[in-house]
Amino acid sequence: MAGPTSDIQTIALGIGTLGMALGTLAFIAMGSGETNERKQEFFIITTFITGIAAVAYFSMFQGFGVIEVTLANGEALTIYWARYADWLFTTPLLLLDLGLLAGADRNTIATLVGLDVGMIVTGLAGALATGAGSPLSPAGTRIAWWGISCGFFVVLLYYLVSTLSSVAAQRSGDVASLFSTLRNLVIVLWTAYPIVWILGTESALGLGTGSPGLIGLNVETILFMVLDLAAKVGFGFILLRSRDVLDQAASASEAAAAD
């Protein structure tokens, strides 16, 4: 079996596709007149974030980005693997936006990206794990991967509130305050993802109760869609509409590059 397993999922994924596509077009339009190279970076990165997501959503919408995983105990789960392909590229790009805004150095940005990739790849391992060959039950195996992924996430959050925030605090008041708005948005929205995952189908926590998750795949698909739109399109609008703040961030990073 391939493809969304209900009309509700198809509609949610269709809304996700359209929302990401419209966001992409809006960001292209907003960035088209920009001539400052440093400021262009923000427009390019953010446009790719929604562009990649639009493609991933379309792939799930039309049944390519979804597979059935058969667990060691014979039960089957419907897994939207394309989410992880999307997040693998787009979450590092979101962190790159934040890092550039804060004026962070290469090592700080690379550390954030490394932690993020660790988080997504181990999350994908959990989503695909069958439990075959594992001393743990299928659900136990998947939840263990979730725990490892959360480990990366916690360190990532720590980095965001410590190192990155103290770098950002050295920027002008406007840049520092745009940074904290976006950082707080990231902390709140991103924290919802592991919660939806563990309550949803992926954890297989509800196996044996008639539904693989404590919340069903329909609700989960809607929740991820709303979160993805807020974390990408919402984030992008807040960042890119602040033209004069981007100006200040751009001139600060030019000054740093000239040092």
Neighbour-count burial of 90, counting CB atoms closer than 10 A to its CB (0-12 exposed, 13-18 middle, 19+ buried): buried
Q: State the minimum distance, in angstroms, from the CB of residue 98 to ligand RET.
A: 11
Site string for ligand RET, 184-223 (x = CB under 6 A): ------x--xx--x--------------------------
Find the Cα–Cα–Cα–Cα dihedral 9, 15, 21, 23, rounded to 10°. -130
Q: Does 146 bind ligand RET (CB under 6 A)?
A: yes
Report angle CA 86, 123, 159 to the nearest 5 degrees: 85
d(CA 220, CA 100): 32
Number of residues counted as binding ligand RET (CB under 6 A) = 18
Q: Does 27 bind ligand RET (CB under 6 A)?
A: no
d(CA 130, CA 133): 9
Q: Which residue, among 182, 159, 179, has the nearest Cα to 231 in the 3D structure?
A: 182
Binding to ligand RET in span 32-91, by CB under 6 A: 53, 87, 90-91
Binding to ligand RET in span 149-178, by CB under 6 A: 149-150, 153
Site string for ligand RET, 231-250 (x = CB under 6 A): xx------------------
SS3 content of the chain, % helix, strand, coil (to 5): 75, 5, 20
Q: Does 120 bind ligand RET (CB under 6 A)?
A: yes
Contact with ligand RET (CB under 6 A): which of 228, 236, 242, 250? Answer: 228
Contact with ligand RET (CB under 6 A): which of 4, 19, 51, 123? Answer: 123
Q: Are 249 and 240 in contact (CB under 8 A)?
A: no
Q: Which residue sits closest to ligand RET, CB atoms considered?
A: 123
Interface residue list for ligand RET (CB under 6 A): 53, 87, 90-91, 119-120, 123, 146, 149-150, 153, 190, 193-194, 197, 228, 231-232
